[in-house]
Structure 1
């Protein structure tokens, strides 16, 4: 079924356990990676300890989101004829590059990294998979000193070509968006272009493979539904506001600006009302066991609604055979995309952009800014052994700054604050 090139690895290696598929090996490597474990310490939407509700002791983290995304993607991919391990690998890997403090931290690191090509969480994910996560090294000849010796070059988890491609949500370098060169989204830094060019060999420029499209929609489904669920659990969202005119206008403005460009308020109102009209929609929430069960049923209904719509539309377009790589495009009906966009806007308005979070976001920006300044000034002090070695090998200031950014991106919310306190003590 698979082209031999799809299961090639950047550094050739034998299979230690015959009988496993290449994509089962890839999935296991991501599951066992330190980068995935660190996502447990990175906030998804609601930070642990910020809820006033006793029943909301364990909000989602980037790790639990990734696991939920992987479950959604594995089932949707299998229903469409994808290799389920390949899709699950992409879903588990899609957020590995996220820095501490979520998108707020991503914006700060992008400013800090401007002299070395900027920062983007998806490009950082590729960097982890193909370079930073210690798993495999490639022994290459090194004649720099004329002694005919060799050196070890890190190749990260050394995943297959197809797995790296499936994890590439934005398969282009900075400024290379196929229709919007000014887009801030990109998937590879300049010094990671060799491996990117290798795994994209033969792929249509700027086009995501089918498995990456399944991963992307699974990500949208998981976080749109679960972010609203977490907002209700934490008491940040009253379902009744979705019926009030001014609040609905705010939601539709956010949806049209951020998640569904070009959509009219009328279209978005129809999408929201379709969801509100469902018998399982949570019109109230008091934290009781019955309310929690009803809310959990609503999240299950929403995920099923979004995935079944995509499965059905794609099957109608391409038939019943297996759909893989570049043989198809995932088809999601516009109405369903708008329903998903409205949920994202609800979470954005009532959970992520709460007034009480602005002070926290400002403080997080100060922590990362001061930490970056301390590391740039004092490095290699403050760097983990892995990054200290890379800092010493870096050929110029831009490469050294990239190592500092790599170190910062690897930190959890707590470890970022701890390192900041150690390197930037208060006056």
Structure 2
């Protein structure tokens, strides 16, 4: 029972390389399954969110984060009559392009790649699913449907044209995004499908929730610190009224699940209002709108900005985290020039790409592909093995 503005499987723009339809699975189910079975998805197990992966078994990794995002995306898509399989596929793929050591690693690699076209994790996710996964006999990449590729490329909004958010606008486009778009026009100046928009907001919901949880567990701040913040403060007060004297861990869980619920319910209410007002008749009408239909309300968005500002100061830029950021940035800063100077150090399966490199730029992009694909622990191990 799909809404008229959902992406319907039988109306898919299909795949770049034609394939026979599956007997049992829709095109978007096949996309989801290919992403789950990809090497890049498995590597997310050992890639960090905020903390370095080995620091604690309870902290989120990119893999657990992606699963949480997919769960939220399926819930939102189901309530709104959207295609849950497509929303889940985009959600599971959205972080495939992340480097080791989270945004710290991305910042370090982007600086090193600045002379060669830069580095962007969203664009790198497209490069992975269109080029770097090499398991199928008939094509490189995963040969995903147009709708899933579109969702990966612009789930955060248009990346070109008048509707592009200045934070996401790309001028020039990252080379990985430009290459994918040149091969198959992803209509980068329009909004993505409602399913991709759902995946984007699910990402915001998931990390806003679990970064609070991880920050508490790490001891970077306490429950008392959250009592003065919007959303979190009322959530703890509600738990205290309902369960006076509840032990600390249960109190924390009950409060944060209420924060989670506030965000999800707000997104659903706003989406229903916007969809009822616009009455879109197709997925293409969603793409042609002047703004997103899946978003937070303005009041909640402002409250979440206050929480994110708190997290930035107390967690993302905490002194202990900054020390670790400097250490892991140095790992990337050491490995990249080493492989540029001695590409024979790359594994055998990468030597064909090294041999095909026509100039320093294409070699740098090969090295960036390899370094970006490393897990936290492998990057540390290789740094120790090669550099002592």
Q: 2:19 maps to what in 1?
A: 13
Instruction: Name the SS of the counterpart of 1:398 in structure 2.
Output: helix
Instruction: Name the SS of the counterpart of 2:230 in structure 1.
Output: helix
CA–CA distance in 1 between the matches of 2:316 and 2:217? 14
TM-score, normalised to structure 1's length? 0.78
TM-score, normalised to structure 2's length? 0.85
Of 283, 290, 300, which aligns to 1:325? Answer: 283
Structure 1, 211-220 or 406-415: larger mean CA deviation: 211-220
Q: Does 1:378 align with 2:335?
A: no
RMSD: 2.9
8 Å Cα contact 1:137-1:156 kept in structure 2: no
Structure 1, 334-343 or 181-190: larger mean CA deviation: 181-190
CA–CA distance in 1 between the matches of 2:158 and 2:105? 22
Distance 1:29 1:230, change over 3 A: same
The structure with the largest alpha-carbon Rg is 1
Distance 1:359 1:278, change over 3 A: closer
- Within 5 Å, which residues of 2 pair with 1:26-41? 26-41=31-46
Deviations 1:280-330 (A, max 9, x none): 6678xxxx9943233222232222211221111221222398986343322
Instruction: Name the SS of the counterpart of 1:400 in structure 2.
Output: helix
Of 252, 255, 258, which aligns to 1:298? Answer: 255
Structure 1, 112-121 or 62-71: larger mean CA deviation: 112-121
Structure 1, unaligned stretches of length 5 or more?
52-56, 139-153, 245-271
8 Å Cα contact 2:84-2:195 kept in structure 1: no
8 Å Cα contact 1:165-1:199 kept in structure 2: no
Deviation at 1:225, TM superposition (A): 0.8
Structure 1, 334-343 or 229-238: larger mean CA deviation: 334-343
Greater helix content: 2
Aligned residues: 370
Structure 2, unaligned stretches of length 5 or more?
1-6, 287-292
Q: 1:421 maps to what in 2?
A: 384
8 Å Cα contact 2:208-2:308 kept in structure 1: yes
CA–CA distance in 1 between the matches of 2:276 and 2:268? 11
CA–CA distance in 2 between the matches of 1:380 and 1:230? 40
Deviation at 1:2, TM superposition (A): 3.0
8 Å Cα contact 2:9-2:28 kept in structure 1: no
Q: 1:268 maps to what in 2?
A: none
CA–CA distance in 2 between the matches of 1:318 and 1:416? 46
Q: Does 1:160 align with 2:129?
A: no
8 Å Cα contact 1:177-1:206 kept in structure 2: no
Distance 1:323 1:38, change over 3 A: farther
Distance 1:198 1:162, change over 3 A: farther
Q: 1:349 maps to what in 2?
A: 313
Deviation at 1:338, TM superposition (A): 2.1
Distance 1:177 1:108, change over 3 A: farther
Deviation at 1:278, TM superposition (A): 3.4
Q: 1:253 maps to what in 2?
A: none
